Amino acid sequence: MTVLFDLRRSISKRKRSVIFSEQSDPRVRSAVRTLLDEGKVQPVCLHSPVESIEGLIVFDEDPDKEVWLEKIRDLYTKRRATRQIGKLEAEVEIAANDLLLAALLVNAGYVDAGISGSLASTAEVLRAGIRGIGLAESSNLVSSCFLMQFPNKTMTFGDCGVVPDPDENQLAQIAIASARSHQLLTGEEPKVGLLSYSTKGSASHARVDKVRAAVSIAQKLKPELKIDGELQFDAAFLPEIGEIKAPGSLVAGQANVFIFPDLDAGNIAYKIAQRLAGAQALGPVIQGLAKPWLDLSRGCSVADIVEMSIIAAALVNNNEHKGLVS
């Protein structure tokens, strides 16, 4: 069994809609066909693709398109109130930016989630998400994580794609958000290890102090969350090493969520795990926005797009459940 198998099964209970703003990409069109064949996610495109795809919903062909455009113009005008833009300016900005249009349609409830990035850069995708959807009430930071599927378990790595050099407050937010993503997508209780080259005072440096401070902040914000650090990877992962280096820890040797001190470490680690250990890297899962809005790598495959669609639908469904770390 894999996490994707479980997610596919879970979303069968209620089909969700996912919008794609880059229907000119042949990989997106192929993924749309696969999703329609599987019948677990309803794909939606902004514009008509070059060839007709039976069962595809196209926003441009919606008889209520103008009603929805009016809604999102109002929504965007309110969201950009600090800039004091009017409806005409909002209309111009939205018309010029398909990413923004798709994000606003997610926010307005036309669709459940959105996926972009096969052609656009991560910066463009995130900017559209922040402007069109906005941050979740409990969030003040956009970050990311990867689900790392190994043969016998699934781990979560964060942040591997967004925040280059987080301070202690940002690192705490990344830890909390990644714990929530892990629980939403795997159903497992998160046990969060904040990684360092030091374990429990074995080294002294400002970088180590940052990790310790982040743990303290996260514990105050979410006292129910099992989180510990600073931990070296072996102490976080291997029970026998965890017992030696961090005896009594609720996380050492048991971690399933690994938080890296900066983007260099996180990005390098997930790629090593993917390329040398053969782990399947699912993501990046964007965290901190009010609704699911996911980013693709510009080197993504058709399978990657399909998998991210499954994750987006699962995030929508599982967000409705209670009792999660949020």
88 falls in which pLDDT band (50, 70, 90)?
Answer: confident
Q: Quick one: what percent of the chain has pLDDT higher than 90?
A: 85
Based on the fold, state whether residues 239 and 115 are members of the same structural domain: no
Check whether 324 has a pLDDT greater than 60: no
Its domain, for residue 65, covers 1-134+290-326
Residue 300's domain is classified under what CATH number?
3.40.50.10950
Quote the CA–CA distance of 218 and 175 in Å, as a whole number. 7
144 shares its domain with 279? yes
Q: Token digits for 77?
A: 């005008």
Domain match, 159 and 28 both: no
Cβ burial 252-271 (10 Å sphere, 16+ → b, else e): bbbbbbbbbbebebbbebbe
What are the distances in angstroms from CA 278 to CA 11, 275, 282, 295? 26, 6, 13, 22
Inter-CA distances, 229 with 16, 179, 210, 217, 282, Å: 38, 14, 10, 12, 25
The model's pLDDT over 140-168, given as tens digits with 9 standing for 90+, comes to: 999 999 999 999 899 999 999 999 999 99
**In terms of domains, do 145 and 268 share one?**
yes
CATH number, domain of 148, equals 3.40.50.10750
Confidence of residue 321 (pLDDT cuts 50, 70, 90): low
Question: What pTM was estimated for this model as a whole?
Answer: 0.91
The reported pLDDT for the residue numbered 74 is: 92
